[in-house]
Amino acid sequence: MGKKAVRILMTRFGEGHEDALLKLSRAFSEAGFEVIYTTMHDPDAIVTAALQESVDHIGVTTLPGARIEDFAKLFELLAKKDLSHIQVSAGGFLEEDDIPRIKEMGVVEFFPKGTTFAELIEWSKQHIKHTD
C-alpha cells in the first residue's frame, strides 16, 4: 500500500473570483496532495470541515475584504477543538502591516500575490507533513 497523501483544506477569506483557488486546488491535486476544497469562508465552517475531513493543513487564499479577525477566530476555534496541530498558511491580498500580525497568530507562511503554483507546491512538499 502506498504512502497516504497529505490532506489540505483549501479555503478563502474575503470576496472575489474563485478561479484562482480552483486552479490552485487542481495544481495541488495533480502534485499528489489530497485537496478538500470549500467555498465556505466562515471560520466556524472551516474548522468544522477540517475536523470532519481530518486534514493535515489549511491553506487560506486571502481575497479583497479578508480581515485579520477571521484568522484570530480561526486559530481560536482550532485551539478550542484541539486541532492546534493543523498548520495554516495563507496567500494573496493582505495589507503589508497585517502579515506579521497573522504570523504571530500562527500562520506558518504568507505567500504574496504573484507567488507561482510551482513555488507553493515546492514549499508545501517541504513543510506540510501528516498530523496523525
Read off the pLDDT of residues 59-81 as tens digits, 9 standing for 90 and up.
999 988 889 999 999 999 999 99
CATH class of the domain at 7-123: alpha beta
Report the SS3 class of residue 49: helix
Is residue 95 within 8 A of residue 76, CB to CB? The reply is: no
Residue 1's pLDDT is 43
- The segments of the chain whose pLDDT lies below 50 read 1
Residue whose C-alpha is closest to residue 89's, from 44, 131, 48, 123: 123
Asked if residue 65 lies in contact with residue 14, where contact means CB atoms within 8 angstroms, the answer is yes
Phi-psi region of 65 (alpha: psi -120 to 50; beta: other; left: phi over 0): left
User: Is pTM beyond 0.85 here?
Assistant: yes
Mean pLDDT of the chain: 91
- Please tell me the predicted confidence (pLDDT) of residue 127: 94
pLDDT reported for residue 65: 87
- Show me where the domains of the chain are located: 7-123
Please give the helix or strand (H or E) that residue 26 lies within, else none: helix 19-30
Per the structure block, which three cell numbers stand in for 2?
502506498
